Structures are given as C-alpha cells and as structure tokens.
Copies of this chain bind each other. A is one copy, B any other.
Amino acid sequence: MPRSPRRSHRRRATIVDVARVSGVSKSTVANVINGSAPFSDETRDRVLAAIDELGYRPNALARDLKRRRTATIGVIVGDLSNPFFGELTRLIERYAGRAGYATIICDTDGGDASERDKLGVLLEHRVAGVLLLKFSGDKTQIAEVERDGIPIVGVSVLDRGFDCVASDDAKGARLAVAHLADLGHERIAYVPSVDTEPSTTNARLRGWKQGLERAGLPRAPVVAIEAPRGGRRVSTLGAVLDAPDPPTAYVAGNDLTALDLIDQLESAGFGVPKDASVIGFDDIAFAGLRRLSLTTIRQPIGDLAKRGVSRLLERVDGADEGEASLVRVRLPVELIERGTTAPPP
C-alpha cells in the first residue's frame, strides 16, 4: 500500500477559492460550472475569470463522493498484449471518453484470482459500470457487483448472467469450416486458444462441430498447441501430426493461435497452405501482412466497442429502467480469404 508523506505542492485551488475571488458563493460557482441553475451573464464571466486565474479544476473525488456516482467505468481485459484486445480496449476507452467517462483498465493476465482482485478494486473506486472482455465464469465474483446495482456488460464475452455484445462466434466457426469444406477438406481440426475467454471458446467450438455436421464431415480432433491452462482434454499437435491421417485443415481459436500454429506446422515440415490450411479468428492488423496473409474470420471490432460502451452507459444512466430483460447482441462476422487456405494436398 502507498505510504505517507507529502511534498510541498502548492495546494490546488478549490471551489471556495473561486467563490472568494469572484465574490460569489460556492453554490453559484457550482451552478456556472454545471449549468445546474440559472445565473447572470456577469456572474458567469466573473466566475470563469476566477477559474482561469486560479487554474481551478474541479475535484472529481469530491464531486463523485457527493453525487454518490462516478463517471468512471472499469474494464477487465485478459491480455492487453494481444492486439485484438489492445485495439478493442483502445476503442472502448475512446468511446467512453467521448461520453465523459474515464476508464480504469485492469489486465487480469488470464488469472481468475486476479480477476476477482481487480473487480474488488473497481468496486472500491465505485465505478459506474463494468465491461468484461474476459470472464472466468466465476459468478460469485460478479455477484457483489450486481448486488450493488452496478451494470455489467460482456464484450466479446457470452454469459447469461449479464448483457452481452459479442460477435456471432458460432457462425464464424461455421463459416470457417464451410470455407474449408468447399475447398475439399475432410479432416478439419480445431485449435483452441488458451487465452480466449471460455464462453467464446465454447461458442466457436460449437460452431466448428455444427459446420462439420452440415458438411457431412466426421468429427476431427481438438488440438492443443499451448500448455492448456484450463485443462480441456485435447490432443497435442505432435501426436496429431504423427498419426496416419493428420488433419488437412485447422480452425484456430484466434489469430494469435493461428499464427503460432502455422509456425509449428512449418517447423515440423508441413507447408501452409500446401500441406495444411489454417484459418484464424479476429482479423488483427498483422493478419493482413503479405508474409502472413492469414485467412481469418473478421470480428467487427469497432461495433463491438461502440455497442458495448453504449449499452453499458444506457444501463448506467438508467435509461432502460423497468426493462429487466438482458440484451444479447450478436454482431455479424465475415470470412476474409487470404493465403493460408487452399485445397488439400
């Protein structure tokens, strides 16, 4: 915890200083600042001049304490170093800022304990709402948030416990499988990303299975290329490649995983897309690089951010009072065909 002393700051001017200098009362100053009550032009000018002269800045702590409501939202993100989440977070912060909200961002590093701790921090700071870009699935951690009436919106996260704005993950995975099946692939494996949020992984896995069914293809293996944190039972890439009939195509849980997979495949002597096709999910900027040229399912990241923020603020402002129903937005995804998919060998 932070420890004591202070340095010699010139004490910041307070609303009382402004009142004194402009020769009016605190309330009048507050009125011109917030437009909360009428005031004369002359008063306004005097107050504004005093504010300027003193370099006055309202103290958000005092304001929020008194109002019993902050203009700050909290964001829980699993991994900021994944460009998809970096970009998503950036956009969220931008939209929130435009609406007058500050953003406290917490990276949980994928850890559940960390997620709980960070939510606690947000609670202590009395955030007006929480955006979950990662959710461990532990309901007890968010029960306290909801008990306080603090709205939660999942962004790129699916859960029946709170409002969600997500891409149509199942559809995306079906699109991926269909594309591969059209190309003639019959053994299409799924490669989950350990970093992806569990509910999202499930939706994509489901879409993959559905896609396989619709194409009349047999169930192919789920392949791990990273140390599984959650412990999902899967085959490892090495074992899969050594098998008599290795998959000819892979649907990856996200672009990062797809890129990693391509690395491992090529290191093992499998050409992509010559010997195996790979398709990602997200369409991060890097996927468009010629050397990578990753075929992938594009998420509408801008809409995700915009609608996530606006839904949260709607609830924060109580605009939907009475309407108790949970909103579940599914945004359309899009197949971006590039160079990592081709007909099977």
CB–CB A123/B57 < 8 A: yes
Assess whether A178 is interfacial by the CB under 8 Å rule.
Answer: no
CB distance from A65 to the nearest CB of B (A): 4
The residues in A between 52 and 73 inclusive whose CB is less than 8 angstroms from any CB of B are 55, 57-62, 64-65, 68-72
Whether B259 lies near A10 (C-beta < 8 A) is no
Chain B CB within 8 A of A187 CB: no
Question: What is the minimal beta-carbon distance from A105 to any residue of chain B, in angstroms?
Answer: 4
What are 16 pairs between A and B in contact, CB < 8 Å?
A6-B68, A6-B69, A7-B318, A10-B147, A55-B144, A57-B124, A61-B61, A80-B93, A81-B90, A83-B86, A94-B107, A97-B121, A103-B104, A103-B106, A104-B104, A291-B292
- How far does the alpha carbon of A12 sit from the alpha carbon of B123 in the complex, in Å? 11
Which residues of the partner chain B approach A72 to less than 8 Å between Cβ atoms? 104, 125
The 10 A-B pairs at the shortest CB distance, nearest first, are namely: A9-B149, A86-B86, A81-B87, A80-B90, A1-B100, A60-B124, A5-B318, A61-B65, A105-B105, A80-B86
Contact of A275 with B by CB under 8 A: no
A contacts, CB < 8 Å to B: 1-10, 12, 55, 57-62, 64-65, 68-72, 79-83, 85-87, 89-90, 93-94, 97, 99-107, 109, 117-118, 120-121, 123-126, 128, 144, 147-150, 259, 262-263, 266-267, 285-286, 289-292, 313, 316-318, 321, 324
The answer to whether B61 touches A125 (Cβ under 8 A) is yes
Say yes or no: B9 contacts A57, CB within 8 Å: no
B residues in contact with A263, CB < 8 Å: 289-291
Residues of chain B within 8 A of A100, CB atoms compared: 1-2
A313 to B1, CA, bound (A): 11
A59 and B107 form a contact (CB under 8 A): no
Contact B102 A4 (CB under 8 A): no
Q: Which residue of B87, B90, B317 is within 8 Å of A2 (Cβ)?
A: B317
What are the residues of chain B within 8 A of A12 when measuring CB–CB? 148
A128 touches B9 (CB 8 A): no
Check if A106 sits within 8 Å of B86, measured CB to CB. Answer: no
Q: How many Å lie between the Cα of A113 and that of B135 in the bound state? A: 34
Given A2-B99, A80-B89, A124-B57, CB of A289 within 8 Å of CB of B290: no
